[in-house]
Amino acid sequence: MNNTIQRVNKVFRIIFENEDLVVSEKTCADDIVGWDSLQHINLIAMLEQEFSIEFDIDEIVSMENVGDMIHVIEGKR
């Protein structure tokens, strides 16, 4: 999981254009300025690209924080 969180952090830094951004498993949309519905779509798309996976709609809807994202990502590997 350590490698996964590092790669997820990399994606978040790119999407939110903030090289100092560090997310944890508990990080949610309310914690990051600019994490709106459009950025969420961009985030999902870049995570799919980074991990060479595809999320289904149920998985996307179930993701309430970064920990949920990591759980789904690791379940696909």
Average pLDDT value for residue range 40-50: 97
Average pLDDT value for residue range 39-68: 96
In terms of Cα–Cα distance, which of 26, 29, 22 is closest to 6? 22
- Whether pLDDT at 1 is above 80: no
Q: What pTM does this model have? A: 0.92
- Whether pLDDT at 58 is above 90: yes
Mapped onto helix, strand or coil, the DSSP state of residue 25 is coil
The one-letter amino acid at 77: R
